[in-house]
Amino acid sequence: MPQAKPPQPRPARRPTAAAFREALGQFPTGVTIVTAAGADRPVGMTANSFASVSLDPPLVLWSVARATPSFAAFVAADAFAVHFLGADQRDLAMRFASRIDDKFAGLDHHPGVTGAPVLAGVEPLLECRVWARHDGGDHMILVGEVVYIRSRAHQPLLFHAGVLRPVDEVDLG
């Protein structure tokens, strides 16, 4: 009996931006707010492009879009703080995802040990000194060395399929 030929690989095609975004949307991520001290005021944004890199030294990364209004301030900063959002902090995530001018107005915050703004009551928190900056296409990848941690257990806020939701509301259908 003749042996079947293995399937031939399809020619590689670059995915469209829409197809790539849709595929990535199926990967649930935690939601963070990243803050930094800008030249004239604090800057902050909601980000789900966060990952751990190394335990020794303790390194994390996140990426900021070049089109983001606060891009230059984040790239110029020597430090940043990463706040992990809880399921009850959707409104805060939306505030820092918006294009409002002063995202910190009326919020309790103070400079942390690195000088980056720390939002009161938003934990876990990692304060980082910039370790490296890497070009990432339409984003800049910022790697930070964690120099201070404040941690607490909480129900996380997730981003999945374009929606912010608690863990128990993830729709797998």
- Structure token pair of residue 37: 């001290």
Phi-psi label, residue 20: left if phi above 0, alpha if psi -120 to 50, beta otherwise: alpha
pTM (2 d.p.): 0.88
Domains of the chain: 29-154 (2.30.110.10)
Buried/exposed code over 131-158 (b: 16+ C-beta within 10 A; e: otherwise): beeeeeeebbbbbbbbeeeeeeeeebbb
User: If residue 163 lies in a helix (H) or strand (E), which one and from where to where?
Assistant: strand 163-166
Residue whose tokens read 């984003």: 139
Give residue 78's Cα distance to chain centre: 17
What is the average per-residue pLDDT within 60-67?
97
CB atoms within 10 A of CB 57: 10
Locate all alpha helices (DSSP H) within 6-144, ordered by sequence. Answer: 17-24, 71-76, 90-97
Q: Residue 9 — very low, low, confident or very high, per pLDDT cuts 50/70/90?
A: confident
**How many Å apart are CA 80 and CA 172, to the nearest integer?**
34
| 173 contacts: CB under 8 Å, gap ≥ 6 | none
Give the pLDDT score at 28. 85
Give the pLDDT score at 165. 85
What confidence tens digit (pLDDT) does each residue in 91-121 have? 999 999 999 989 999 999 999 999 999 999 9
| Nearest by Cα to 116 from 94, 89, 145 | 145
